[in-house]
Structure 1
Amino acid sequence: MIELLQPVVTGLGYELVGIEWAADTRGQRILRVYIDVEGGVTVDDCEQVSQQISALLDVEDPIPGHYVLEVSSPGVDRPLFTLDHYRRFRGEEARVLLARPQDGQRRFRGVIEGVEDDRIRLKTRQGTVSLPFDEIEKARLVPDYQAIMKGQRR
């Protein structure tokens, strides 16, 4: 799906941060597409990208069944999809959920120390852990609301 959407999003001048599937309370499938641009994403940006992606998906029809398309900014609790995201946000706090437990634990919270090969180094309260990137089910930055209130942006 990334390969299909990437040219459209970058062609419009935006970064394709990532995509994820979700479901609402009624079980409706939602395709979430996260975009970003220097200076931040506006509602008009999301609308423009949504129209272009929707047209592409209507033509290509890669998704069977009914779904809802959502295009949005990554937000203050930005999802982390790629190794480059972990490199970019080194020094920031993140929450990470693994697909399978590592040492009996699936949920981790700590400061991103870096990336080595295909592993993420995270400094937690218990010490530094090395998490295999391909085992990460979901990860998001933890918002620093004090910095946000002071007008400092990520």
Structure 2
Amino acid sequence: MGTHSAQGATAERIEHVLVAPLAELGLDVEAVELTPAGKRRVLRIAVDTDGGLTLDDVAAATKVIDRVLEDDGPDGAADALGELPYTLEVTSRGVDRPLTLPRHWRRNEGRLVKAVLGGDETLTGRIGASDDEGVLLDVDGAERRIAYADVRKALVQIEFNRKDRTKDKDAD
């Protein structure tokens, strides 16, 4: 891979060494961000899993990540971080991240999503069954099949006081 000094390359290298050990725990690496914070850096790693992340998952992930990042063997990640101290934060994927992979859609089944399609068409609907190519959206009671290839951006909508799945009060 060669050595790069750029932040992006470092985050990519860290992600690269973490994918396999976290997959053994049934966790996916969703994002790796390395942010300068004074004399330290914050290493934020977002993980996710089917059925949603638990505190036990976060604890297990943190242990594995610590172990991998302290490894200064030939394939270890210690050199990717260099000498500067860092603070590790392990988080869930977060609802503010766009749905970009089939697993994101699958994990959010039943939730309301706003999707911008090609041609600037915007749909708001509830996520139904999904597969590797696309998803069924319930848009105002009508099922619509959307291919991921047609989605320019999709975000889960925060719903407060959602009592049932029939009709949204604030759908426009």
Task: Give the TM-score normalised by structure 1.
Answer: 0.53
Q: Distance in 1 between matches of 2:141 and 2:29?
A: 30
- Within 5 Å, which residues of 2 pair with 1:40-51? 40-42=54-56, 44-45=59-60, 47-51=62-66
Does residue 1:5 correspond to 2:24, yes or no? Answer: no
What is the CA RMSD across the aligned residues, in angstroms?
4.7
Counterpart position of 1:115 = 130
Amino acid aligned to 1:104: D
Check conservation: 1:20, 1:32, Cα contact below 8 A.
yes
Check conservation: 1:81, 1:139, Cα contact below 8 A.
no
More strand by share: 1
Check conservation: 2:111, 2:157, Cα contact below 8 A.
yes
Counterpart position of 1:86 = 105
Counterpart position of 2:78 = 58
Check conservation: 2:42, 2:89, Cα contact below 8 A.
no
Give identity over the alignment, percent: 15
In structure 2, runs of 5+ residues without a counterpart are: 1-11, 71-75, 164-172
Does residue 1:19 correspond to 2:31, yes or no? Answer: yes
Counterpart position of 1:132 = 148
Task: Give the TM-score normalised by structure 2.
Answer: 0.49
Deviations 1:52-85 (A, max 9, x none): 35335334x29xxxx975321345x385453133
Q: Distance in 2 between matches of 1:21 and 1:136?
A: 23
